[in-house]
C-alpha cells in the first residue's frame, strides 16, 4: 500500500471525528506489516482528560484485534501545515508500534514522512522498567 493511499484512509477517518469542542478533526490510519489497516478518529469528551486522539484510537483498535507488527501511521487534519502527533501519542506509538514511519499530510495533499524516533528522540519504554541492581542490600 502506498503512503498516499494510507493518507486517504486517514482522511476518511477524519470525517467520523467527534470534536464538538475544539472543532479540530483528526483522522489516522495504521498500517500493519501484513497490509491490514486500522483507522481511527479523535473523540472528544466534555471532560477533556477523557478525550482520545485519532492515533491512539487506531493503535488501540489494532492491538485489541491482536496486531503487534506495524509499518506506518498516517495522520490527516484539515490544516494547511503538517501536524505531528501529540506527546502522548508519540509515546504510545513508540511503545506499542515501535519506530515506525509517521506520515503527516496537509489539507492540500502534501506528505512528509518521519520516524517516531525523530519525533521522540529519548523515549521511555519497557527497558526503563526492568529491575536494576542498585548496589544496596
Q: Residue 12 is part of a domain; what is its CATH number?
A: 3.40.140.10
The answer as to whether 61 is a domain residue is yes
Weakly modelled stretches of the chain, pLDDT under 50 = 137
The answer as to whether 134 is a domain residue is no
Residue 35: CB atoms within 10 Å? 8
Distances in Å between the Cα of 116 and the Cα atoms of 73, 88, 99, 123 are 10, 12, 5, 9
State the catalytic residues: 55
The answer as to whether 13 is a domain residue is yes
The answer as to whether 50 is a domain residue is yes
Name the residue range of residue 38's domain.
3-129
- Taking the chain, what is the end-to-end CA distance rounded to the nearest angstrom? 55
Number of domains in the chain: 1
Write out the E strands in 22-121: 26-32, 37-41, 70-77, 101-105, 111-115
- Compute the distance between CA of residue 14 and CA of residue 91 in angstroms, rounded to an integer: 22
CB contact at 8 A, 30 and 64: no
The answer as to whether 123 is a domain residue is yes
Q: Are strands 101-105 and 70-77 parallel, antiparallel or unpaired?
A: parallel
pTM for the structure as a whole: 0.92
Nearest to 39 by CA among 19, 62, 20: 62
The answer as to whether 136 is a domain residue is no
- Tell me the per-residue pLDDT of 64-104, one tens digit each, with 9 for 90 and over: 999 999 999 999 999 999 999 999 999 999 999 999 999 99
Amino acid at each position: 500500500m502506498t503512503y498516499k493511499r494510507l493518507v486517504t484512509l486517514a482522511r476518511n477517518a477524519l470525517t467520523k471525528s467527534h470534536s464538538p469542542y475544539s472543532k479540530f478533526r483528526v483522522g489516522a490510519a495504521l498500517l500493519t506489516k501484513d497490509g491490514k489497516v486500522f483507522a481511527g478518529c479523535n473523540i472528544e469528551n466534555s471532560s477533556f482528560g477523557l478525550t482520545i486522539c485519532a492515533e491512539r484510537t487506531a493503535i488501540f483498535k489494532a492491538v485489541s484485534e491482536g496486531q503487534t507488527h506495524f509499518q506506518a501511521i498516517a495522520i490527516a487534519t484539515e490544516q494547511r501545515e503538517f501536524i505531528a502527533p501529540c506527546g502522548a501519542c508519540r509515546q504510545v506509538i513508540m511503545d506499542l508500534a515501535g519506530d515506525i514511519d509517521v506520515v503527516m499530510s496537509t489539507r492540500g495533499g502534501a506528505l512528509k514522512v518521519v520516524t517516531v524516533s525523530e519525533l521522540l528522540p529519548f523515549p521511555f519504554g519497557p527497558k526503563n522498567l526492568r529491575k536494576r541492581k542498585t548496589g544496596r542490600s
